[in-house]
Amino acid sequence: MTNFSFAVLISGNGSNLQAMIDAIKGNQIYGKICCVLSNKEDANGLQRAQEVKIPTEVVSNKDFETREDFDTEMVRVLSIYNPDLVVLAGFMRILSPVFINAFPGKILNIHPSLLPKYPGLNTHERVLESSDNIHGITVHFVDESLDGGPICAQSSLEITTRSVKQLEQQIHKLEHELYPKVVSWFGEGLLRLTEGKVYFENRELKIGEINEK
Decide if 154 contacts 212 (C-beta within 8 A).
yes
CATH 3.40.50.150 for domain 1-103, yes or no, is no
Confidence (pLDDT) at 146: 86
pLDDT at 209: 67
Interval 159-175 mean pLDDT: 96
Rounded CA Rg of the chain? 17
Confidence of residue 206 (pLDDT cuts 50, 70, 90): confident
Mind telling me the catalytic residues? 111
Percent of the chain with pLDDT over 90: 92
65 pLDDT more than 60: yes
Cβ atoms of 152 and 192 within 8 Å: the answer is: no
> Do 1-103 and 112-138+153-213 fold alike per CATH?
yes
Helices (H) and strands (E) counted in the chain, each on its own, are 6, 10
Banded pLDDT at 131 (limits 50, 70, 90): confident
What pLDDT sits at residue 156? Answer: 96
pLDDT of 213 reads: 42
pLDDT at 212 over 60: no
Q: Looking at the domain that runs over 112-138+153-213, which CATH code has it been given? A: 3.40.50.170
d(CA 84, CA 117): 29
> What DSSP state is assigned to residue 199?
E
CA distance 158 to 127: 12
* Average pLDDT estimate for 177-194: 97
**Domain boundary assignment for the chain:** 1-103, 112-138+153-213
**pLDDT tens-digit map of 78-91:** 999 999 999 999 99
Closest by alpha carbon to 71, among 99, 43, 51?
A: 99
Establish whether the linkage from the previous residue to 116 is cis, with ω within 30° of 0.
yes
User: Residue 83 has what pLDDT?
Assistant: 98
